[in-house]
Structure formats: structure tokens, C-alpha cells
Amino acid sequence: MKRTHLIILIGIAALIVGLLVFSVDFSTYDTIQSAKNKQGKFVHLIAKLDKSMPITYDPINNPNYLSFYAVDSLGGQTKVVYHNSKPGDLEKSERIVLKGKMQQDHFDCQDILLKCPSKYKDDKKMLEQKMKEEVSSK
């Protein structure tokens, strides 16, 4: 077999693999409203914790049940249920990416990614905030 032929062959194989990969059901970023129209479909939501609503987490009774409410910039709101422990800095997060499926009345979340101002601190707003706190506490 000629080397060039072989390279072409491997290239074709790689292409087929590539096509297979992209036939995978890639997900989408959705708003809460558009996710509600895609019941049961795996989506990514970019939202914020709704601080006016209660967070339910009672680790003594069930350490694998967390529920809270999320809102997005377009005003959509949903209850979120996460069968896992409560991420440490949920309350502090500025923005959350929720991965999961909308199930009638709630969003069944499989993974939460928090964007916290504290995590990586190259954030001037956060510094300003801290500076203000420090000064006012004097």
C-alpha cells in the first residue's frame, strides 16, 4: 500500500468519526422560556439565582435534594431541582449555568456551573465592593 493512499484512508476514517461526533445530540443554550417549550430536552440555561425565593436544602433528611428558583435576563422563572449536594457558593454566585431538562413544573438539573466573583478575582467590581465594605467598617 502506498503511504499517500494510507493517509487518505486515515483521513477518511477521521472524517467519518468527525461526522459521527457531530451527529451527536449537541445541546443548546436556552432561555428559561424557550426551554419550557422543549420539555424533556437536554439544554443549558444561563440564569441567576432568584434571591427572593427560598432555597431548600436539608442535608440531614436528604443530602441529595436541593431546590431553588432561577430567573434569567428575559424575566423567565423556574423552580430548579438538583439531586446532589448544595454547591458551596450558590448564594454568592452572579450567574449560574444549569444543565438539565425541563420537566413540567421544574427544571431537573444534572450539573451546575457557578460563576462567582470570588473564584477568580480579576474583577474590579468585586474589589470596589470589598474596598467599600472595608472602609465603612472602620
Give the binding site for another protein (CB under 8 A).
1-3, 6-7, 10, 14, 17-18, 21, 24-30, 34, 42-44, 46, 57, 59-64, 83-86, 88-89, 91-92, 95, 97, 99, 110, 113, 115, 118-124, 127-128, 130-132, 134-135, 138
| Closest listed residue to residue 59, CA positions, set 33, 41, 85, 93 | 85
How far apart are CB 75 and another protein at their closest, in Å?
19
Measured from the CB atom, the residue of 75 and 120 that comes closer to another protein is: 120
Using alpha carbons only, give the angle 43, 22, 83 rounded to the nearest 5 degrees: 30
**Nearest approach, Cβ of 29 to another protein (angstroms)?**
4
Q: How far is the CB of 30 from another protein (least distance, A)?
A: 6
Q: Which of 116, 46, 107, 47 is nearest to 82 (CA)?
A: 107
Closest C-alpha among 45, 30, 129, 132 to residue 80 = 45
